[in-house]
């Protein structure tokens, strides 16, 4: 099956997008910080500077992005751990107590939300607070949960037909996951490009 779907190569694409966005975010903050220091006579402490640069995005947007990132973790885990043999021995079906339970999917999703989801809740909302995000872009990001739910639906279907496998649904699930990731990272990429033009 791993030969049918190049899961690890496609995983590298998403990881590359996240790493590149982290680089963009770090460099963006450095550039903005330098601009502020050059145009001010005050010596800002980092904490004060971050507070001064923070742009309120609104509770609706912050809640949506937080929900989207947590849902992304669930969709990612479902696609890669509920699809047998994509990650070798690391899949959902290696834990029969969970895989055979009526609420196995709920337990699996809850574990993903509680463990890495807490870290996302602490850091993600703050990240978007340093960018000028237009109302149009905020509206576009509202589509993110739709793609994530589509990805989860494909993963659940693949889990129900196991040990059969349908590459079409895996690719649809992956593309939906990739689009959602791109939507969530767009504000960072857009803000970085605009900053590089100044």
pTM for the model: 0.82
Mean predicted confidence (pLDDT) in 179-184: 95
Tell me the pLDDT tens digit for each residue of 120-148.
766 776 788 888 899 999 999 889 999 99
Beta bridge partners of 88: 85
Residue 180 corresponds to which tokens in the numbers above? Answer: 């959602």
- Give dist(CA 116, CA 121) in Å, integer: 9
Q: Which of 24-28, 55-59, 77-81, 97-101 has the lowest mean pLDDT?
A: 97-101
pLDDT, one tens digit per residue, over 88-124 is 544 555 555 555 555 556 666 666 666 666 777 667 7
Which pLDDT score, from 0 to 100, does residue 185 have? 94
Q: Taking residues 78-96, report their average pLDDT.
A: 60
Buried b (16+ CB within 10 A) or exposed e, 87-119: eeeebbbeeeebbeeeebbeebbeebbeebbee
pLDDT of residue 37: 72
Dump pLDDT digits (tens) for 51-71.
Answer: 777 788 888 888 889 889 988
Helix, strand, coil shares of the chain, percent, nearest 5, are 75, 0, 25
Q: What is the pLDDT of residue 151?
A: 95
Of 30-34, 42-46, 167-171, the one with minimum mean pLDDT is 42-46
- The predicted pLDDT at position 33 comes to 79
């Amino acid at each position: 099956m791993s030969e049918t779907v190049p899961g690890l190569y496609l995983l590298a694409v998403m990881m590359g997008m996240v790493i590149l966005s982290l680089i963009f975010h770090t460099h963006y903050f450095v550039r903005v910080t330098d601009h502020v220091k050059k145009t001010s006579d005050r010596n800002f402490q980092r904490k004060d500077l971050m507070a001064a640069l923070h742009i309120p995005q609104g509770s609706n947007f912050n809640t949506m992005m937080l929900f989207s990132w947590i849902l992304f973790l669930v969709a990612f885990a479902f696609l890669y751990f509920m699809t047998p043999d994509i990650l070798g021995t690391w899949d959902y079906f290696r834990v029969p107590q969970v895989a055979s339970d009526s609420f196995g999917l709920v337990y699996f999703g809850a574990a993903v939300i509680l463990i890495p989801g807490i870290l996302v809740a602490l850091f993600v909302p703050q990240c978007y607070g340093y960018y000028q995000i237009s109302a149009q872009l905020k509206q576009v990001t509202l589509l993110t949960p739709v793609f994530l739910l589509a990805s989860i639906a494909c993963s659940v279907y693949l889990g129900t037909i196991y040990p059969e496998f349908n590459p079409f649904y895996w690719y649809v699930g992956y593309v939906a996951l990739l689009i959602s990731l791109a939507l969530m990272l767009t504000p960072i990429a857009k803000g970085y490009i605009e900053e590089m033009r100044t």
